Amino acid sequence: MTPEGIRREVSAWLDEKWRVDRPLIEWREILLEGGWAAPHWPEEWYGRGFTLDQTAVVAEVFRERDVVPAAQVGPRGLASETILACGSDDQKGRFLRPILTGEHTWCQLFSEPGSGSDLAGLSTRAEFKDGKWIVNGQKVWNTSAHHADFGLLVARTDWDVPKHQGISYFLLDMRQPGVEARPLRQMNGHQSFNEVFMTNAEVPPEDLIGGEGNGWHVAKTTLSFERRGFSRRVRGSSLDGPKQGPIYAEYDEELRIATEPYTWYPQREGRVDLVLPRARETGAIHDPATRQEIAKLICLYTGAKLASDGAEARRKAGTTEIIPAGSIGKLAASVIARQASHVHTMISGADAMLSGPDSAADGIIAEVLVSVPAISIAGGTDEIQRNIISERVLGMPKGFRADQGPFRDIKRNA
Amino acid sequence: MQTEFSKEQNLLRDVVSRALRDKSPATAVREQMASDRGYDEAVWQELCGDAGLAGVHVPEAYDGAGGGAVELGIVAEEMGRTLFCGPWFASAVMAGSALLEAANEPERQALLPGIADGSTIATLVLDDLNGPAGVGGSIRAAGDGKLSGTAAMAVDAHVADLLLVAASGDTGGLGLHAVEGGAPGLGVEPLQVVDPTRKLSRVAFADVPARHVGDVTREALSRIWDRICSALAHEMIGGAQHLFETTVNYTKERYQFGRPIGSFQALKHRCADLLLEIEIARALTHHSARCLDAGEGEPYVASMAKAAAADACMSAARAGIQLRGGIGFTWENDTHLWFKRAKGSEVLFGTPAIHRERMMTMLEGAA
């Protein structure tokens, strides 16, 4: 279908169905029935089998007309794509619909205090007893877990096989006595994540996804969607400016809750945009040493953008070269953020000791200084990215490993 | 504006790359760097006389191939990769850019065809190689057109048939003057250099007869500087890539403690960081040539490229020595040849710090 054809069809449908005075869930039920909630999904599951580019056209029309889309923001997108890719028909039937309507929110239960970079070294235990899975263990860095209805859980079900083979993947009901989510406070003062404690939490056998012992494969599916920034590409969620109509109030509240954990994310990227304005405002723009560092930052920022655009163009042109754009881009983002933080410090001088409303840029600069350390850790540390680049792009040999053989025998954190 | 290389440009790179691998192996580099002239005249004839590599950026009206900064950059990059020894940079890049930006039309018609086909070896003589602001401080053109003064360093002047000299006139304005090699009063004294693959001479003028070929406004000098720096950045990117590839390969072959040293994270991480630094510098460098050809983009684009490429090339050179360990510090190993070129190119036409300050001046005004 051509973009123009898609535009015509979705516009005609919206002319007939879209109204701002419907309750949010009711509207999304209509959206699902019409097949416009997730056009890139297959036809048997609410979609139309569109490509991502075609889906983007639909999202564009929605945005232009201020139409509220299906629920997409946050970890729920990872859940729906994982279930769609690896789930049974029964699971798709039960879980996909309430994700799209926004009735259910989800969280990801992957990282553990004892296994961060080494995710496959996880030790949350799931045992099959009396017809159900009993889960015990602790997870960490769980965005939105404190209000989630369900969690994407990886847990160990076999301790006598090599570590990747003993993992299973579950769809965990968060609203049960054995699950407790506690907010986790970060060094920048925000609480964007949780710790989740599972004590004899229960999972019915029909909520194991991808088969017993196949959890690592399913987890990699989830991670690949996360890396692709999948939800961002098809989101089309942010409607500009205040809108009149009852449905917008409900939608805004949903967005507010879903995006609240991410308010400081621009600061962890270093706020390059504030460097020149701050340098002019303080007079630091005349300091030769500061000018050197600002120029380095501009080179890094401009060059990384050009390099990433070039890699994207070559990828689209069907290059055969290996471009781990994710790893290189992520490493570049860390370098840029650190240099920006360094420059902001030089510009502020002693004022960099202050934070809050009376400090520079209404506290934003202070938040930059204490948020940038996150960017080289979250989503895979710089050190892991360097391993990936050196092994997959440069073909350097893998290092010595001490985690082969049965998981039971591998040394791990107490 | 172009954001990728065209098919023709990729083809040019392949042809140049193959020719240079054939004509400029490390053994030839070692031979030429030890010679007085510093290059092989038969190879020069093949690359420039036959293949036209000195005229890729010269418009067809002056018997060139009609390309631009992008084509010039492609050749420079491949030459940097193989450490080609010869007056190509002095003649095609330096003198060629000066003529294209500052010479009047009859002089361009008279001088560019010889440069383009390699029959003339030219160079650009500047009395300051750190930045355009200092140019014209030492060499003066008298009312009768004769030049006096000294350039402390000039690239490949010892073999130049034609020296294009920037000199201050009586009224203070800068002019471009043509001097024939061997002209009376011209003293060319070869200098001892850190990088023997690029020869430098001290050039003294004692009432040397010269021909005024054009006025050089400050804007024109800045554009000449940009063209030269963009090409030099390409040359450094080629050098960085060579250093990087050979170093990574070495870490896969060298065994210590019963394993290839490339399996140690200390080395892997240094290589990954280096890849990133080179990728960013390469993107800026290719961008600079495209901007110069299109007349678009950041006004300080050549300085970004020169600063980033110089730093990346030196990082690659340092890693090239360090990751090889002791063998990397020997004369016998080739790494030092690229290291020395990297050091020379880092400071030629302005250190990275000078270019960063130039960027900021263009962006925000002087400090």
Pairwise CA distance, residues A167 & A156, whole Å: 4
Residue A407 lies in a domain: no
* pLDDT at site B102: 98
pLDDT tier for residue A320 given thresholds of 50, 70 and 90: low
* pLDDT at site A231: 41
Question: What is the tally of structural domains in chain A?
Answer: 3
Instruction: Using alpha carbons, list the distances in angstroms from residue B285 to A45, B231, B304.
Output: 48, 8, 8
Residues A298 and A380 in one domain: yes
Q: Give the closest-approach CA distance of A363 to chain B in angstroms.
A: 26
- Residues B207-243 pLDDT 10s: 999 999 999 999 999 999 999 999 999 999 999 999 9
Residue A44 lies in a domain: yes
* pLDDT at site A311: 84
Best mutation target, B276, B278, B285, B351, to test chain A (most A CBs within 10 A): B276
pLDDT tier for residue A242 given thresholds of 50, 70 and 90: low
- Residues B12-42 pLDDT 10s: 999 999 999 999 999 999 999 999 999 999 9
Residues A75 and A144 in one domain: no
Residues A169 and A27 in one domain: no
* pLDDT at site A236: 41
A335 to chain B, any CB pair closer than 8 A? The answer is yes
Pairwise CA distance, residues A70 & A50, whole Å: 16
Residue given tokens 């999972």 in the structure block: A203
Best mutation target, A386, A388, A401, to test chain B (most B CBs within 10 A): A386
Residue A401 lies in a domain: no
Cβ contacts (< 8 Å) between B280 and chain A: which residues?
299-300, 303-304, 307, 332
Residues A113 and A202 in one domain: yes
A5: how many CB neighbours lie within 10 A of its CB?
11
Residue A257 lies in a domain: no
Residues A82 and A107 in one domain: no
* pLDDT at site A162: 97
DSSP structure class, residue A38: -
Residues A141 and A64 in one domain: no
Six-digit token string for B346? 């880092």
Residue A254 lies in a domain: no
Q: Please provide the average confidence, as pLDDT, over all residues in chain B.
A: 97
- 8 Å CB contact between B290 and B284: no
pLDDT tier for residue B367 given thresholds of 50, 70 and 90: confident
The CATH number given to whatever domain includes residue A329 is 1.20.140.10
Distance of CA B363 to the CA centre of its chain: 25
A53: how many CB neighbours lie within 10 A of its CB?
11
Six-digit token string for B73? 């950059």
DSSP strands (E only) in A249-363: none
- 8 Å CB contact between B213 and B99: yes
CB contact under 8 A, B284 and A306: yes
DSSP strands (E only) in B62-197: 122-125, 140-141, 147-155, 162-168, 174-180, 186-190
**Where in the sequence is the domain holding A169, given as residue range(s)?**
103-215
Non-local (6+) Cβ contacts of A284 within 8 A are A278, A290, A346, A347, A349
Q: Give the closest-approach CA distance of B123 to chain A in angstroms.
A: 30
Residue A400 lies in a domain: no
Residue A270 lies in a domain: yes
Pairwise CA distance, residues B318 & B296, whole Å: 35
Domains delineated in chain B: 7-116 (1.10.540.10), 122-216 (2.40.110.10), 219-364 (1.20.140.10)
* pLDDT at site A232: 46
Six-digit token string for A335? 């370098």
Predicted TM-score of the model (pTM): 0.93
For residue B68, what is the enclosing H or E element? none
Pairwise CA distance, residues B360 & A294, whole Å: 8
